[in-house]
Amino acid sequence: MLRGVITKAYNSFYYVQTDNKVTMCTLRGRFKKERFTLFVGDEVEYESTGQQNGIIEHIVPRRSMLKRPMVANVDQVILTFAASNPDINPVLIDRFLVIAESSSLDIVLCINKIDLANIDEITPIIELYRQIGYRVISISAKSSTGIDKLKNELYGRISVFAGPSGVGKSTILNTLEPGLELNTGKVSEKIGRGKHTTRFAELLPISGGGFVVDTPGFSFTDFTDIPPTELMYYFREIEELAPQCKFSSCLHNKEPQCAVKQAVSDGSINEQRYTSYQEILQEIQQYKKGF
């Protein structure tokens, strides 16, 4: 039996990559009987049935499952934003961070297009997220600045690139791995040309080992499946202080003797971050009331 990773699923064929080749596999019947779905990223064992074909016999237990896009065994999310064009927006960064934190994957913040950056504007933002504990890498896909630093984060892992449209996710991957030739450009142009951004997730191998996944950008973030009491765990600095609040049920909103609000007023928690927290909390609470 051989072992590999599903890099692509297409028309009930699974492309399984081993160290040195890709095999087109079908599934052993019992998977279908059990209605078990395999995803890109799944590690499988297969029996070879020819030069380039095989049958998947066994799936290795998953380490993680990302829902959007559906990819198994993702190790980390590279949350990508642009320093400019589209303008950097800390509120949007916080919203994406909540989504990423709630998937319990490692997170790297990647700020692209620093060739366009106003350094005075961008530096405090980078410092803010570093202080909270995030790894932040600033790069320019256009001038290849920082690309090696980013590459170092990717070796031997499965990394998903996510973030708003137009920030340069596909361009970054093309710079990292010129053979990929991913479609880039403005979204409107992509539609105009009749080309679509990838609809199905695919693991793209990178030289030196590891895989990346390109995703189409989105800006609409939906928090409705996060309970209000859990939101604080997705803001690292709030989570850290929460045990010091007077009430164990404190939502750090209107409650008295709240350590988080105290920290905001003495400046040790960033006010903008706290505003993001309150806004998202309100969205979740309003959604709950809707029932």
- By CB under 6 A, name the binding residues for ligand GTP: 112-113, 115-116, 140-142, 165-171, 184-185, 187, 197, 216-217
Interatomic CA distance for residues 48 and 62, integer angstroms:
23
Task: Please tell me whether residue 171 binds Mg ion under the rule CB under 5 A.
Answer: no
Q: Are 43 and 54 in contact (CB under 8 A)?
A: no
Residues in the chain: 291
Residues contributing to the site for Zn ion (CB under 5 A): 245, 250, 252, 258, 260
73 binds Mg ion (CB under 5 A): no
Among 170, 174, 175, 270, contact with Mg ion (rule: CB under 5 A): 170
- 8 A C-beta contact, residue 60 and residue 42: yes
Which one, 90 or 166, has the nearer CB to ligand GTP?
A: 166
Comparing CB distances to Mg ion, the nearer of 174 and 270 is 174
209 binds, among ligand GTP, Mg ion, Zn ion, none (CB under 5 to 8 A by kind): none
How is residue 180 written in tokens?
Answer: 């990929």
| Closest separation in Å from C-beta 134 to ligand GTP | 20
**Shortest gap between Cβ of 170 and Mg ion (angstroms)?**
3
Residue 245 binding target from Zn ion, ligand GTP, Mg ion, none, CB below 5 to 8 Å by type: Zn ion
Contact 238, 220 (CB under 8 A): no
Closest to ligand GTP by CB, 189 or 222: 189
Minimum gap (Å) between residue 169 Cβ and ligand GTP: 4
Number of residues that bind Mg ion (CB under 5 A): 2
What is the layout of strands, in order, in the sheet containing 135-138? 135-138, 106-112, 76-82, 158-162, 211-214, 204-205
Shortest distance in whole angstroms from residue 100 CB to Mg ion: 18
**Interacting residues with Mg ion (CB under 5 A):** 169-170
